[in-house]
Chains A and B, each alone.
Chain A
Amino acid sequence: MQEFKKFSELFQPAIADSINSKLQSSHVDIPSILAKEKLDFDDFIALLSPAAEKYLEQLAQRSHEISLRRFGKNISLYAPLYVSNECINTCTYCGYSRPNQIKRRTLTVDQVRKDAEALRASGIRNVLLLTGEHPKKNPIPYLIDCVKAMRPIFDSVQMEIYPVEVNEYHNFLAAGIEGVTVYQETYNRAVYDQVHVAGFKKDFDYRLDTPDRISEAGIRKIAIGALLGLSPWRFELAALGMHLKYLEKRAYTSALSVSFPRIREAAFYLPPEHNVSDKEFVQIICAFRIFSPDVGINISTREEQVFRDELIPLGVTAMSAGSRTDVGGYSGPSESTEQFALEDIRSPEEVASAIRAKGYQPMYKDWDRLIEAA
């Protein structure tokens, strides 16, 4: 059997240096890259480079055409459900960071069920379970109970939780998890070390190899991502693209998707030092779509409503809608502080209408729990 090298073994400082030097190159021929059927990694870097900026409309058209063929005129809808904001990690960019004096809360499994039912009543059928990381307040057996409580209510349950071991992912799969999201946050090792001040999350390589473990457990969907604003963004996305291509071989049977949310100002955050403009954000979406025609591209409610609507034909495949980022926010009054401020506060049906207005069909359901083993 083929033995794969872990991504952490490949993604060494020499690779980072080589990505950075490629990003400096100005000798790139964007029109000929756009005419290619399959792009290599250097082509992808060229599409992220400043040289591609003046071809933005051409990038958008190519991206639109590829997306139409592969995904049709459909956009999937999902929403997050936070079960706990208790966290032992100290991360400079996150509202849930340990030193922050915020209202902390962990739902009981019954409260999770109630919140899930309220979310389901809004029309949402695909849910993303989220939590902070706290070995006592939200340990793995508790999260598995949450998944089991949510499973009968939704068509698809995915999760974005702290990284765990292969056998633990396997237990989540058995409980009914369809997909797992894990953002590296930043692929820049030095910055990673600075922003993750303390806690389990400080281990860069363990987090970097998490998608390998998710795949090894046989989980169907893997979402990876980088938070934009922590370090020079072109490098972050080049590294994310490299990780994606690695996983296309390593995780042959998993559907892959990417996210690259922009950090916003909110309580406890500083304004991002490495701002990404709307134009650059569009360039990033198009570069990913053209580089990887099949990758899912998720856009959260961190982006503003008008901007989100304009992104629909460009290559986006899934959007969150009607989101709450406080714990228990769907079923009761807000008793906890949210993780980040939302820019798009429309209900699922309002987002669905906006999708229809763009000539696309909102897709509430694209999975069925009957497919999984009982």
Chain B
Amino acid sequence: MNDQLKIGGRDFASRLMLGTGKFATPELMANALEASGCEIVTIAMRRVDLSDPKDDFLKYLNVDKFTFMPNTSGARDAAEAIRIAKACRAATGSDWIKVEIHPEPRYLLPDPIETLEACTQLVKDGFTVLPYINGDPVLARRLEDVGCAAVMPLAAPIGSNKGLTVKEMIAIIIEQSSIPVVVDAGLGSPAHAAECLEMGADCVLVNTAIAVANDPVLMARAFKQGVEAGRSAYLAGIAAPTKGEAIASSPLTSFLENGNARV
């Protein structure tokens, strides 16, 4: 079956993206990426020295194997995000950018106003733009309208492992979007990831739940399986749950059975 994820004019077999922060060692990060089967990885520009080929991160990342999606983590406003995006493109040649603008450092929640402004500009500048957003269906449509390649609504605050706390809003985003919906942040277990795919999300991005697991490589594989199970179930068509016993009498429609109804 040809079930490819299409983002920015490219096809991907994997519907799991990985973040590269919080790992105990770069080797462990590389092994987890491998086990997850992911093809798209995000990396914080502030953490790497893109000009240094001996940089700990870059040394362990196979540049031919992955699509790199640098992120603008650390940016507090649109101007900073745009500056980071341009520096990343100059250093890597890749025009993919995950726009992440969080004015507050505690919950790292995205600023919708600055995000829309940055994305509008970056799309005009030829970037493939994937913005990190709150579960806000109207904002998701505004970002689609300005030409973003996908939207990345959060399930819960970064690192919280709480799963789909804004499920209703994400369902609306999925229903209304014509671009891929990547559920990002807050997924704590493969079951959470499966749940996203089952409800029709196109992809998920996971970092903390894998990076800080006792065995990150095994957890990466588990997320791969969760994502695949969720996607297959979505494609197979999940039967709606039954709503209890059959109804014995029909108070609202029994008049149709009294012999007087026109046939």
Contacts and interface: CB of A to CB of B under 8 A. Distances in A.
Q: Are the chains A and B members of one assembly?
A: yes
B234 interface: no
Contacts of A365: 46-49
14 contacts: A72-B21, A72-B22, A72-B208, A73-B24, A74-B21, A220-B76, A252-B104, A256-B105, A363-B47, A366-B47, A368-B45, A368-B74, A368-B87, A371-B84
A68 B213 CA distance: 9
Contacts of B161: 69
B227 to A, nearest CB: 21
Sort chain A's interface into a size bin.
20 to 34
B79 interface: yes
A370 B23 CA distance: 25
A367 B160 CA distance: 23
A73 B210 CA distance: 12
B204 interface: no
B104 A253 contact: yes
Given A248-B106, A366-B46, A367-B46, A361 B74 contact: no
Contact of A371 (B80, B105, B208): B80
Interface in B139-191: 159-161
Sort chain B's interface into a size bin.
20 to 34
B103 interface: yes
Contacts of A252: 103-104
B109 to A, nearest CB: 11
Contact of B105 (A294, A361, A363, A372): A294
Contact of B26 (A253, A360, A361, A372): A361
A189 interface: no
B208 A69 contact: yes
A155 B44 CA distance: 14
B59 interface: no
Contact of B74 (A68, A73, A367): A367
B24 A254 contact: no
Interface in B73-115: 74-76, 79-80, 83-84, 87, 103-107
A306 interface: no
B25 interface: yes
Interface string B188-207: 00000000000000000000
A70 B160 CA distance: 8
A33 interface: no
Contacts of A361: 23-26, 56
Contacts of B80: 371-373
Interface string A102-132: 0000000000000000000000000000000
A70 B104 contact: no
Given A256-B105, A371-B75, 5 more contacts: A69-B160, A72-B21, A361-B24, A371-B46, A373-B83
Contacts of A73: 22-24, 211-212
A361 B24 CA distance: 5
B187 to A, nearest CB: 13
Contact of A294 (B49, B75, B106): B106
Contacts of B87: 368, 370
A367 B80 CA distance: 13
A72 B23 contact: yes
Nearest to B105: A255
A254 B21 CA distance: 21
A274 interface: no
Contacts of B106: 248, 294
A137 B45 CA distance: 38
B25 A356 contact: yes
B69 to A, nearest CB: 17
Contact of B24 (A69, A155, A360): A360
